[in-house]
Each structure stands twice: as C-alpha cells, then as structure tokens.
Structure 1
Amino acid sequence: MDSFLHRFREFQKTLFFDFFCFLWVGAFTFLSFAPFYLSHLVWIAPFGLFWITHKYSGRYWRLVGYGFLFGVFFYAIAFHWIHHMAMVFGNFPWPLAFIILLLAGVLFGAKFPIFLVSYSFLSRRAGKHSVWVAGVCGMAADMIGYQLFPWYWGNLAAGNIILAQTVEITGVYGLSFLVFVVSYTLFETNLLHLPEILRSKDKRSHFIKFWTLPFALLLLFVIVGSTLYLKWKNVTPTKTLEVLVVQPDAPMSIRDERGRSPREVIEDLMGRMDKMVENAVQRAGKNPDLIILPEAGIPYFSANRELLKIKMGDRIYWPRFDSLMVSFANRYKATVFFNEIDAAYKTKSSGREYLRYFNNNVVYDPNGVRRQAYQKQYLVMFGETMPFEFMYDLSPQTGRFDPGESFDLLHYYSDIPKENPPTVLPVTWEKTEGLDAEFVRNYYSPTHTELKDEGIFLPLICYEVIVPEFVRKFKDSGNPQFIANLTNDKWYGTTTESDQHFELGRLRAIEWRRWLVRSTNSGISGYVDHLGNFIEGKSTSLMKAETSWQQIQVIDSPPGFYILYGNLIPWIMIVLTGIYYGNLLLRNKKSEA
C-alpha cells in the first residue's frame, strides 16, 4: 500500500497527472448522470479539481487555464452530442463540428475555473483547505457560471430520490453544496489509511472531528428528504387527468432523401399523426382530457390564421394543419396543446425588416376554438438565435426567433356533455383537403357543448424546463396544476442528450410538487410524478413514432419554499462566507501593518 501511494505521489508531479485529472472529472460526472445513473460516483467526481488546486495552489492564471481545460474535457465526454448537433443542425463538416464542441467547453465551462480560483484563494487566505470552503465554492460556481445547456453538480446527486426531495427547499444548488462537502471530506480522509486511523487514538479523534460537519450535513439532508418523501407520497390528489402524448418523429427537414416533394413528406407526417391518435383512443376505449403534441411536431408551419394578415403569412399558416387540430379537439372532446411558428411585427410598421418569429405553444379547447398561446422566452443560442448577425450566414438552418415576454399560465378545458349528443362523421386528415379550419369548426358545431375551465398549467418549451430560476418566474401568474414540456430533441440523434434533458427537467416536478408531462418529437417522451419518479414503462423510444397514455394526478398545494424564495438559502451561505473571509482579510492586513 505504501509503495502504491509513493508511486501515486510521484505521478502527481507529472504533466500526465494533470490530464488524468481532466479525464477523471469528465468520466465520473458523465457516469453519475443520465442515462447511467451511477449517482454514487458523484462523491468522487470532484477529486480531479481538488488535486489540481492543491498542486497549483496560488498560481491563479494556471488554474484559470486548467479550469477551461476541465470544461473542454467535460463537454467532450459528457456533452459529446454537441458534435452531432453541429453537423446535423448547423450543417458543419466533421472537423469544424469538433472544434465547435471544444469551443463550447471553453465558452460554457466557466464553473470550473470559477471553482479552482475561488477555492484556492479562500483556502490560502484561511491558511488551510476546509470543508466549508469547498462546499461554498462548488455551489457558487454552479450559480455563477454561464451555461448553454445548464447542468449542476446537484443534478448528479439527485439520482438519489431521497436527496432529490430537498430541492423543494434549497433548490438544486443545495445539493451542489452537499456534493462538494462530502467529496472534499472523502478526498482529505484518504480512506486507504482507514485501518491505521482506527488503530491510532489521536488520528481517530481527528477523523471524528473532521467528519462531524459533513456527516451532520448528510444526515440532515437524508432526514429532510425522507420526511418530504413520506409527506408527499401520502398526499391525496384532487383529481386525475387522462393525457395522450403524441410523438410523431417528424422529419428535421421536409427535403426528403427519397425524392419526395416537401408536400408529400409533410402530408405523410400529418396522416401518420391522425392514425396514431385514432389508434391510441381506440386502444384506451375512452377519450383523453388532453392531447399533447411536441415542439416541431408539424415543423415550419403555423395554425394561426391571423398570420394571413401579414406578409409571408400564407407561407407559414397552413389551413390543413389548423383543420386537423380543430378536428382532434372536436372528435375527441379534448383540449389540444401543440407547438407552431408564430409571427408578428415588432412595430406598427409593416416592413419585412420588422417581422419577428416566435416559437409558440397553443391551446385549442374541446370545441376547437383557439384560446391562449405561450411564446418561448429562453431561446437556444446557435439553434434559435445567434449572438452576432454574421453567424447566420455560417449556419443558415439556425432560426431567427425573438423571445416572448409573457409568463402567463395557460388554461385547459373540459366539455359538459349533452344528454343526447348528435353524432357526425369524423373529419380525418384525408378529408381536410380543400377545407379550411372554420369550415371544419362549423361542421362540428352540432356537437359543440358548454365548456368548463378546468384550471391552469405551466407551459415550457425545450430547454426552458432545465433552468430553475426561469421556471420560478411563472409563480406570479398563479399556481399550476401540472407542467407540460414540449421539446424537439431529434437534432441530437440517438445520443445521451435526450436522457440528460429529461433528467435535468425532472427536478421541476419536485420544486413545484406537480406532475411533469414531457412530449418530444422523437423521444424520449414520458411523465414524472410530484415525487420526482419517472413513471415506469411510460417512456417512449428514440427515433420512433409512438403515443403514450397516462393518467396524471393533480396535486393541490401552495407553492413551496424554493418557488416562493428561490435561491435564498444558497445566497445567505455565500454572503456569510464572504463576510467571514472579508473580515479575515482585514485582520490579516492589520496584523501585517
């Protein structure tokens, strides 16, 4: 054992050891996360960061550079799907897509240099490394570092369902703090010497003192998590909703490889969706309360008839798209929630240069009447927008979307059935040829019923679901009954992105204590209950056209601590740490004077 430790210390002096540290962090964070869910590995994943800060303590420029290298290795391993996206979405050649992947690690891996520099600086000022410093610096780096695809160390620990419950109070950053506290304790303890520690009274005493705070903190998280889990496990729902999710596997481009025209491609898609919904309803033997279609389920088109009033509106608005949504609503007497492209003028001027496009979610009530809409606000850079105008020429497939501004929750409806409802032949996709939506709506008018406003829900598009601070902003609009996330992950192929995306969004269900419905174009679609559990057997496959039916529960409860107060606890911890170390700096300066 002593021989191994001696060789390891010699290895630490080499440059190869530095690269070993980069690989260590990248590999173990990747394995701790979806789709592997080896969350126990998160406790050792930060070791590479600790080794580097100890080796280069006080050499801040070296730590900054190495921090960005940690980001590059992490992205290259854990977010390797960026390379696939750059080739498919951006149409970049393989070498350039690889450079984009590495640049993403530099541009969006700031949490690593932030941690290395702050941890080294505060440790040196305190005259020693400490458990508290490691925890606060890890948590602060998570909070401050800008990310294109936000992930947090706490997400890796949240694979443990008991620990995950605590995000209701502390948010995901509280778990980040716990990760670094426990990880640093394990790192400094050097469990290889545990037999020797247990034999020596002095070493045993030091070991107990060193573990007091981490053990107490871990025990606190377990107790709080267990209490919350039991509390919410036994809650009685106020009602249930029958939800049908449609995953159409729509093409990324309507330019077909088999030589079909764009019209043939999109009509084949719409006909397939019609049959999918019809077959799902027949199998269930009942109508759903909600039919939920994904982002880009009908790509590049809109069902908003108002677009005909503006230039290019006839190229975006498609009557048969609108007609099919109206038919779905009336045929199955369900609220239909779907995604489209919307457009509006930025000013009163009608000049084309003032025309703006939006990624839009829409609600149609069971009578097929268009109700509310939500415009996506958290736009994905390099996908829906570019930071500089010249970059659109480099990636012509990138959208030119503007962010919406409203945080209004959307309403959903149920019908109040008539005693002897008339029946009409269904307007299927094939029958919508040459029919506009208003004709279809009038055709179904004999079946129209009075409607009941059933309540409100939280609509999110794509990556919005993985940003906790953003989702909190909806709290001022009311208390939603469930969360619906419409997304399109097809740009990432069969990589791990969709698993990671789903996992990152899972914590919103715990923060809000609401069920989460995820509808994707090509997978993975599924459901998360208010405890943060994936509903087993209800997740769809990747790159397949499928439907999924689930009875979700509506939980009636007031907003929890995190929804009301956000990152209050993490910020208090950071401020108190700043005050302590600021005072320590002043005392050191006075003593030196």
Structure 2
Amino acid sequence: MKKNIFLSILSGLLLWIAWPPTPHFTFLLFVGFVPVLVAMENIIQSESVKKGKKLFWTTFLGFFIWNTLCIYWVYNALKSVGAAAALPVAIIPYALAPLLMSTACWLYYRLRRITRRNVALLGLTCFWVAYEYLNQNWDLNFPWMTLGNGFAVSHKWVQWYEYTGVYGGTIWIWIVNIFAFLVYNGLHKPRARSMRLKQILALGLIILLPIALSLYRYRSYHEQLNPSNIVVAQPNIDPYMKEGAIPPAQQIDVLTHLSDSLGKPNTEFFIWPETAIADQQGLNEDRVRSSPYFQQIQHFLNKYKNGNVLTGSEDIKIYNSRKTSTAAPLDPQGNEYYDVFNAAANFENSAEVQFYHKSKLVPGVESMPFGNALSFLKPVFEHLGGTTGGYGRQDEPSVFYSQSGIGAAPVICYETLWGEWIGQSVHKGAQFIAIITNDGWWENTSGKDQHLDYAKLRAIETRRWVCRSANTGISAFINQRGDVVQQTKWWTRTAIKQDINLSSDKTFYVLHGDYLARAGSLLAVIGVFWIAFSKINVYRKKIRKTAA
C-alpha cells in the first residue's frame, strides 16, 4: 500500500515539474502518469478487497498534489477576504478536478473487470478526455489543467494544434504514457531482446514523430503580409484600487497618455485591459454616447483617423419593467431589471460603439454555479467581487469590426482557456485576437505566466496574432506560430506597439472545433453504459442462481 501511495505522489510531482511555466521539463509529461498507472495495476492485481475504493483515493492523492502545486496562486486571489471565506471557493480548483480525474481512473478499473487491459486503457483515455470536456462546459468549469495546455512552454512541439486543438495534446500524452507503462510492465516478463527493442523503438517514434512534424511546420510556416499597427497599453493600476480609490476619468487619462506615447497616424487599434473603464455605477450601454468616458475617448481618437479603442469595461444594461435575462436582478427603487456585465467595448473614431459581454465567467466570482443549489455561498461570492445573481453573459462570441473592415476577436481574461470559443470568433471573421485581462489578483506568481503561455496555443490553433493587454500582468504580442514577439515586465506601467499580420485563412480546428473531445466523450458514455449493463447482467445471473 505504501509503495502505491509513493508512486501516486511521484506522478503528482513529475506532472507538476513538467507543467508551465517551468521550462525544459515538458518531456516529463510523457512519463508523468506511468507511476500512477503502475500503482493502479498493483491494486488491480492484488488480493485486497475494495480495490475500486483504494484505486480511487490512491490516484486522488497524486492528482491533488499536481493540481495544488500548479495552481496554488488561486488562493492568493481569494485570501484578501479571509481564510474562512476563501476556502470554499479554493476547493473548487484544488479538489474538484482531482476528484473527476480519479473518477476516470475508477471507471477504467470497472471497465478492466469486463474486458482486456488494452481495451480498458483505451477507455481510460476516453474517460479522461470526457472529464476535461465536462470541466470545460459545466457550471463549475475550470479547464486550466487540461493536459494539452501542458505544451504551452514548448509550443514548437505542437504546431499541429491547428488541426486538433489542445485535446490532441491530451490524447498524445496519454498514448505515450500508456505505451511507456506497457513497455515498463513488459520488462518483468521473459521476452526476446529484439521484441523489447522494437517496443522501445516504437515508443520513441510515438514521441519524436509528432515533434518532428511540428518542428517542420514551425520552420516552414510563413505569415502572409497584411500589416496593421497595434498599440497595447498596460496601466498597472492596483486591482484593489480600480473602483473607488482612483476615479475612472483619471484611469482613462493614464491609458490615453500611454497610448499617445506610441501611437502613429496609421495605428488602427489601441487595446486597453479588462475593466479599464471601471465606474461603480456601470457604463450604461444604452446611453454610452452621453457618458463623459465616451467623450474622453473620442477626444483621444481625434488624432487617429482609423483608430479604435478596444477596452474592457464594467457595463450595465437596463430593461424596462420586464426580466429579459436569467441573471438580471430587480432594482427596487427604479422598478427596473438590469444586467451587469464584464464587457469589452470597441470605440471607433465616430459615434459607433460595439459591445461584447464576457461569456465564460469565473465560477463563484462572476457566476453562481447551479443557481439556487449553492445559494448558501452567496455571501462568500459577494466578498469576492461577484454578484449574488451573477454577471450577465452572451451566448455567442462576437467580432469587433473597425471602419476599415478589420475584424478583432475580443477575449476577456478567463476566456483565454476556450480554444473552440475563440475559434468561433475567427470563423465569423476575426483577423486577430485581442485578449484583455487583469492578472494582478494572483500577485507575482506563476498564474500570470501560465495565463500568458496558454495564449500561445490560441495563436497556433487559429493562426492569428494575439495582442494581449494586461492591467497588472504581462502584456504581449504573439505571432501566428505562437512566438512571444514582445512582452512587458510584471508590475510596470508601459505600452508596446507592433505591426501584426492580419489573416483571413481558417484552420481545420477553427472549422471543426473540439471534435476530438466530443468523439472521446461519446466513447466514454458508451463505456459507462457498457459497465452499467455488465453490472446489471451479473446481478441478474446472481438472482437466477439464487432462484434455482
């Protein structure tokens, strides 16, 4: 038992060392699951009782260590409200994902009881993909630890994400680990030396061939010349002082000054970070042209004929005497319903303003998971900066179009993790990706670095430049191959500019999205039904035997 616990802990540590932003150790992803697979095999082959329970909690230990060490910074964003209040929300990413991971391993054990090991291992891969897809799409979504994200610091290895997305990386990692486990397991059995050499050679090809193809694609890929001048501003305003302590007009003054320092007559987009317009009353979208902030921005844009300001804002939309949104609360004084949005806005050098409402909301902080079922946590969520009813959201991604016809995909903070969602914006006509975020909540931890690294994968999936504006994080320009061309320093007030290449081509992934995840989830569901029907058949046989 102690040996299996050690093996599980070893897997957790290997996967942690391999995870971004740690450079040079990505290769450990290819063996990180081997110790836990060995531990699972030991439990299955043992004579002990309650094997499923032992397997579940043994694997949970390693997965909990891996997740907690990688995303320890989540607690930094919550600790300001006190340990007692922060703990319930911190448990979501720390423990929930490991529980789902262990469930996938438990399903593998159940499948192993009714079929051959190789078939069950294939099922394990599908169960894992299904867990990741669930964790991306349900109310408690937190796809930060999706396995395919692990190649973010070694993006040259996965240029084929333009065909598969991150789920291709997840499947690759599991195939290699399973094959390495089978090779290791075979070392203890009498077998011809030539057979072992063939297995080792096959394992090497499974690892090296995708890397070689990716490196060839990386070196042979050339962007089509279609330049557009972009300026990204990083105001470095303490997130805890954005609302109330520093007037919004003063914050906009900082942003316009930074933008002016690098702006040129042909600059087409000035990108400002998430909640750059942070009025406690909210920017009323229906009356935006009468807002003093609109006037400030228009005055700034007078110098730039084709200029646009793409910025984050906290918006409000009022509905007259009828509730049109599931999140919209009732204003008792005005007898009106309203929505509050974490939004992006595009201000043209005209009266035109376009809005996008963040859709992928942070559970607990920006949305109430499962509605009334978790209503007892509403006081905690209020302390964390969220709303008891949750922020409003929109159902489809948007594209902001400039007067000259350039399409930009607005992506707000957490949405960086959704490749398919961003791909839909590209499918609609976005020619580059504008990520606006505020990473200061996590302080100077690896969280801000991971968030930047993941953006490189979005560039590869869509073959679009990423222009990233972070209030207190790291702002950057990332080219279509996933290279960080420019980036700012942490906690620095500055601006950067770049001539990016716009693109209108659509990758296979943009056209088809997370098809691998959907296929894997379908196979996982079939596997679950297979397990259930087998259990029912065993139960029926017992009844018949008893009756006889």
TM range (shorter): 0.7 to 0.9
When structure 1 is superposed on structure 2, of 111-120 and 294-303 the one drifting more is: 294-303
State the match for 1:356 in structure 2.
Answer: 339
Distance 1:230 1:255, change over 3 A: closer
Superposition map of 1:109-120 within 5 A: 109-120=98-109
When structure 1 is superposed on structure 2, of 517-526 and 59-68 the one drifting more is: 59-68
Contact 1:295 1:340 (C-alpha < 8 Å) held by counterparts:
yes
Matched, 1:516 2:466: yes
State the match for 1:170 in structure 2.
Answer: 164
Which residue type is aligned with residue 114 of structure 2?
Answer: R
Contact 2:227 2:501 (C-alpha < 8 Å) held by counterparts:
yes
Deviation of 1:510 after TM superposition, in Å, equals 1.3
Distance 1:348 1:506, change over 3 A: farther
Matched, 1:234 2:228: no
Distance in 2 between residues matched to 1:302 and 1:32, nearest whole Å: 44
Distance 1:209 1:574, change over 3 A: farther
Matched, 1:412 2:402: yes
Matched, 1:342 2:309: no
TM-score, normalization by structure 2: 0.81
Contact 1:47 1:187 (C-alpha < 8 Å) held by counterparts:
yes
Matched, 1:207 2:196: yes
State the match for 1:528 in structure 2.
Answer: 478
Contact 2:135 2:142 (C-alpha < 8 Å) held by counterparts:
no
Matched, 1:500 2:450: yes
Distance in 2 between residues matched to 1:584 and 1:220, nearest whole Å: 35
Superposition map of 1:19-38 within 5 A: 19-37=5-23, 38=25
Distance in 1 between residues matched to 2:18 and 2:70, nearest whole Å: 10
Max radius of gyration: which structure? 1
Distance in 1 between residues matched to 2:393 and 2:528, nearest whole Å: 40
Superposition map of 1:71-470 within 5 A: 71-88=63-80, 91=81, 93-94=82-83, 97-98=86-87, 100-129=89-118, 132-133=122-123, 135-145=125-135, 147-190=141-184, 202-208=191-197, 210-211=199-200, 214-218=203-207, 220-222=209-211, 224-231=213-220, 233-237=221-225, 239-254=226-241, 262=244, 266=248, 268-281=250-263, 288-300=267-279, 304=283, 306=285, 319-333=291-305, 334-346=307-319, 348-349=321-322, 352=331, 354-367=337-350, 369-387=351-369, 388-397=374-383, 398-400=385-387, 401-413=391-403, 453-470=404-421
Q: Which runs of 5+ in 1 are unaligned?
A: 1-12, 257-261, 310-316, 414-452
Matched, 1:40 2:52: no
Distance 1:150 1:289, change over 3 A: same
**Seq. identity, %:** 20
Count of equivalent residues: 509
Quote the RMSD (CA, aligned, Å): 3.6
Contact 2:148 2:167 (C-alpha < 8 Å) held by counterparts:
yes
Question: Secondary structure of the residue that 2:487 maps to in structure 1?
Answer: coil
Contact 1:71 1:105 (C-alpha < 8 Å) held by counterparts:
no
Distance 1:226 1:322, change over 3 A: same
Distance in 2 between residues matched to 1:150 and 1:264, nearest whole Å: 32
Distance 1:249 1:102, change over 3 A: same
Distance in 1 between residues matched to 2:200 and 2:518, nearest whole Å: 25
Deviation of 1:175 after TM superposition, in Å, equals 1.3
State the match for 1:567 in structure 2.
Answer: 514
Distance 1:73 1:98, change over 3 A: farther
Contact 1:328 1:336 (C-alpha < 8 Å) held by counterparts:
no
State the match for 1:423 in structure 2.
Answer: none
Matched, 1:552 2:503: no
TM-score, normalization by structure 1: 0.76
Q: Which runs of 5+ in 2 are unaligned?
A: 45-49, 324-329
Contact 2:77 2:442 (C-alpha < 8 Å) held by counterparts:
yes
Distance 1:72 1:134, change over 3 A: closer
Distance in 1 between residues matched to 2:378 and 2:110, nearest whole Å: 41
Deviation of 1:475 after TM superposition, in Å, equals 5.4
Deviation of 1:411 after TM superposition, in Å, equals 0.2
